[in-house]
Amino acid sequence: MGSLWIVWLKFFLSAAVVVAGGVRLTRYADALSEKMNLSKAWVGMILLGLITSFPELAASLASTVLLRAPNLAVGNIAGSVNFNLMIIVLMDIIYRKGAITDQVKPSRTYDFSAEFFGILASIVVIEIFLAWHLGVLSFGHVSYGSILIVLVYILSVKTIFDSGERPSVEIKPIAQAIKDAKEPIIKLLISASVVVVGGIWLSGICDDIAQTTSLGRTFTGTVFLGFVTSLPEIVVSLSALKMGAFDLAFGNVLGSNIFNILILAICDIFYKSGPIFARVSSTHILIMAVSVLLTTILIIGIQSPKKKTIFGLGLDTILMLICFAMGMKFLYHLR
């Protein structure tokens, strides 16, 4: 019992390190956008989504390379994309002025983001399904699905950028921009180092939790690791809500989820024992399917004007919460 308490203490300490580094990463990314004259819309959907996903990247790579625990790595991403979508529900609970999805206008940017996430998540689901029934086709130790994920991600970034807001001012020459942004770049790199160290430590602690309890790596990765690495997104989105920057908050969530799927392809590249999707539990299919369902409900909610509310919550976020809770319940029983 005493050793278990030590494990949980280490978990909270490592989580604090990841959160502290992730919050500072976000702050310096915003400062970087100011110095380099990047548009806020692009920063929210692409740059901020990538930056706030850095803890997921560090934790999943550590799980893959150092611990050789693919279920922990994939569970982290599957859990994180679901927890990120629950940020919208949390925002709705805090907002209390009607449905939160009524505060953002339907746009091609949101539609494209949801569509590309659905495609990327579906690739993961299909890869895991095929691995359990037919086997995974691969190029060396990397699955063709991972290669496809990289290509779709590149296409998604280009499409989202082309569909959104352009910078309101002329972008500086790269040499001058880097010179002007020297301070936030240095601070960003230091914060990134903190996140990497914290992510490696956190992954090891979560693996200890999985081994010292009956929860298993899939459940531990999805719930504990996935939740902690989503905390920077929570902080950023709630800060954006406080400022009334709804588009920044929604863009951060959707952009982060798209990049999170790319992390799985990166893990596959570094996992030398064969395609990573062939080494994980089929339970991940359920969790990824839930994330696609939640994203679909969110986009329908954004497109539906003036939704009815129950206890101040939009019907869309209530449905998202119910689906998430059911998914977590099934995951616990399948652990």
Domain boundaries, the chain: 2-334
Token pair for 114: 């949801």
CB within 8 Å of 42: residues ≥ 6 apart: 161, 164, 165, 167
* Residue-wise pLDDT tens digits, 162-183: 775 544 445 555 566 566 667 7
The pLDDT tens digits for 269-292 are: 999 888 999 889 888 899 999 999
Q: What number of other Cβ atoms are within 10 A of residue 190's Cβ?
A: 13
CATH of domain 2-334: 1.20.1420.30
Distance CA 79, CA 12 (A): 18
pTM: 0.82
Higher per-residue pLDDT: 172 or 17:
17
At a CB cut-off of 8 Å and minimum separation 6, what does 273 contact?
68, 141, 279
